[in-house]
Structure 1
């Protein structure tokens, strides 16, 4: 199985690239979606979180109250580490299962793991290839404020809380520059898909 890690900072254009990979036939696995799945009602993950942080982080319907949990962990590094110790192994296990399922019928299929915090949390050791989507800071700020309606100070805070472009570039095997037109971003992605698909086929 040939696994490509896909990452990029907020508003860098990663979603466009992930969507194109999926259109072309790659199995795109969304880390954020898995992170939500492992804490759904009835999961061992949610039970462990409630045991550690108390039932005050649960809504009346038994689901996770994310704002309440966030208020606890983002101001307390030790609590955040405790949360990560619960969720990270669960996401890791689920991601591996989804990857195996993705290639069960086609061992040569390209698997793309879409993970925003690859540099900050996941690491690159498990990936055969890493694609980083980048755009200059001013373009990302414009996208966050004009397209998403985010306050300018909040947009800057979000960008500054993540890894730098240099840190991401340091782990990249390829960089998609999304600062130009949509057509340019898609063309770069198509070229990468063609190359990575060949690698995946030869990897079986």
Structure 2
């Protein structure tokens, strides 16, 4: 039987990685959409060839990979190009992520995506878990982790879905504002609950 899919999301600095690591220790299969997004544009993949054909060899690194910095600048300047790129990549990412999730041996599998709500991916999962954290703590964590300025982190925050928007789509919310021992307990509690669900619904 194919596992049902739990979408896990949260803003920058909310601790998604720590949460998914705890689920993994309990034997839950998970896939990170960001990893899949990188994989679909690796050298030799059809998507990379299509990108190079459209934008020219300038978007490739000397080693033949995708130069993300160049690509980012190109699509930020031109919404039409960004739309083209999204239309090329989103279906591939979705297909690949779902194929990887289906390999799970656990009762449910987790799709980790920072943009679960913004990208519409929440419509492909059976249930949504939002890792939430007060904004002040979010900024503090992200600044110390990424060694970036508070202004940069706030800019990223304003580009992501607002907390309210994310929480509106949540079936479950894990407020990650305490220590790891507490987080582990919360994940175990959710895990035991998820094992009782059929297809992700109560």
Q: Report the TM range for the smaller structure's normalisation.
A: over 0.9
CA distance in 2, matches of 1:200, 1:191: 17
1:202 CA displacement: 9.2
- Once the two structures are superposed, the pairs formed by residues 1-204 of structure 1 within 5 Å of their partners are 1-102=3-104, 106=105, 109-199=107-197
CA distance in 2, matches of 1:56, 1:197: 49
Q: Deviation string for 1:100-153 (max 9, x for gaps)? A: 222xxx4x5321000110010033222111100010111011112223311111
CA contact (8 A) 1:7 1:115 kept: yes
**Which stretches in structure 1 are left out of the alignment for 5+ residues?**
none
Q: TM-score, length-normalised on structure 2?
A: 0.93
CA distance in 2, matches of 1:152, 1:59: 31
Q: TM-score, length-normalised on structure 1?
A: 0.92
Task: Note closer, same or farther for the CA distance 1:141–1:18 as it changes in structure 2 (3 Å cut).
Answer: same
CA distance in 1, matches of 2:200, 2:96: 26
CA distance in 2, matches of 1:201, 1:69: 38
CA distance in 2, matches of 1:43, 1:99: 20
1:97 CA displacement: 1.2
1:75 CA displacement: 2.1
1:200 CA displacement: 5.2
CA distance in 1, matches of 2:162, 2:143: 20
1:196 CA displacement: 0.9
Q: Deviation string for 1:157-189 (max 9, x for gaps)? A: 111110011001100000000112222222211
CA distance in 1, matches of 2:120, 2:172: 18
